[in-house]
């Protein structure tokens, strides 16, 4: 059974810092891994999708890496801004459904 | 195309009442998913459809829950005889089977059972 863990559970940093959010999964035979952002009371916004054959994906200030052998993915946020404050969720799929971690709640203060 | 839309966004009901949520996926997407999320947790899978066929249901989906996607377009999730433990955010997502598998979510329907 796939289990997804995210560390840290919460993070508070000053504006401008570079951040690394961690995601680990127990079953390395995944199809893909997806990172999402969730604002309070809102739905999920897809940030990056990494296919199982890929090692990383980049979008603007975001870079996500995938190491299937170690069961880990990291989301790197460069030059953080207050607008980045949200909960970040990773999810792994081995079958036809995504299994989610509990998220990292990020606060970036000015 | 404006993405996945869900209705209603908020629903407050009394215990024992029935509620129904609707999801309209992105038009060309043939797969539709329902997830449930409680405070401080990640979304949990409930069920999914490919076109009109319901392919998998989670053990979380008790007999009081039923989901349909009659014409392979929009979907409904009905909860009968609601209980306080049903209070959660119900999220709908869609994707295209045969594509890269990226899942797109709606804004969710928040249910509060009094």
The per-residue pLDDT for A1 is: 82
The per-residue pLDDT for B99 is: 66
The CA distance from B73 to B75, in Å, is 7
Contact of B25 with chain A, judged by CB distance below 8 Å, is answered with no
How would you classify the pairing of strands A10-14 and A104-109?
parallel
The per-residue pLDDT for B32 is: 95
Report residue A77 as tokens: 């946020």
- Over residues B33-89, the pLDDT tens digits come to 999 999 999 999 999 999 999 999 998 888 999 999 998 899 999 999 999 999 999
Q: Which residue of A has its CA nearest to B102?
A: A49
pLDDT category, B1, cuts 50, 70, 90? low
Contact between A76 and A62 (Cβ < 8 Å): yes
Contact between B9 and B79 (Cβ < 8 Å): no
**Three-class SS state of B67:** strand
Q: How many CB atoms lie within 10 A of CB B78?
A: 13
Report residue A85 as tokens: 């404050």
Q: Which residues on neighbouring strands pair with residue B25, listed in sequence order?
A: none
The CA distance from A86 to A80, in Å, is 12
What is the distance in angstroms between the Cα of A96 and the nearest Cα belonging to chain B? Answer: 9
Contact at CB, A46 and B102, closer than 8 angstroms: yes
Contact at CB, A41 and B110, closer than 8 angstroms: yes
Q: Which residue of B has its CA nearest to A49?
A: B102
pLDDT mean values, one per 10 residues, chain A (110 residues): 92 96 91 94 94 93 95 96 98 88 96
Q: Which residue of A has its CA nearest to B105?
A: A44
Asked if residue B23 has pLDDT above 90, the reply is yes
Report residue B54 as tokens: 């319901």
């Amino acid at each position: 059974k796939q289990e997804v863990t995210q560390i840290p559970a919460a993070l508070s940093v000053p504006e401008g810092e570079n951040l690394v959010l961690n995601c680990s999964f127990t079953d390395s035979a995944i199809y893909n891994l997806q990172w999402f952002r969730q604002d309070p009371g809102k739905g999920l916004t897809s940030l990056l999708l990494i296919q199982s054959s890929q090692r990383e994906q980049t979008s603007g200030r975001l870079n996500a890496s995938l190491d299937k052998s170690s069961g880990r993915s990291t989301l790197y946020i460069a030059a953080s801004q207050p607008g980045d404050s949200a909960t970040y969720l990773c999810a792994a799929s081995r079958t036809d459904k995504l299994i989610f971690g509990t998220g990292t709640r990020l606060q970036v203060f000015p | 195309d404006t993405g996945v839309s869900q209705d209603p966004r908020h629903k407050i009901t009394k215990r024992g009442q029935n509620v129904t949520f609707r999801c309209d996926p992105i038009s060309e997407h043939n797969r539709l998913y329902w997830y449930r999320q409680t405070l401080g947790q990640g979304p949990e899978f409930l069920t999914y459809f490919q076109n009109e066929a319901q392919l998998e249901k989670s053990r979380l989906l008790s007999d009081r829950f039923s989901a349909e996607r009659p014409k392979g377009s929009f979907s409904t999730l009905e909860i009968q005889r609601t209980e306080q433990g049903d209070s959660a955010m119900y999220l709908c997502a869609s994707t295209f089977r045969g594509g890269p598998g990226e899942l797109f979510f709606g804004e969710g329907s928040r249910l509060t059972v009094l």
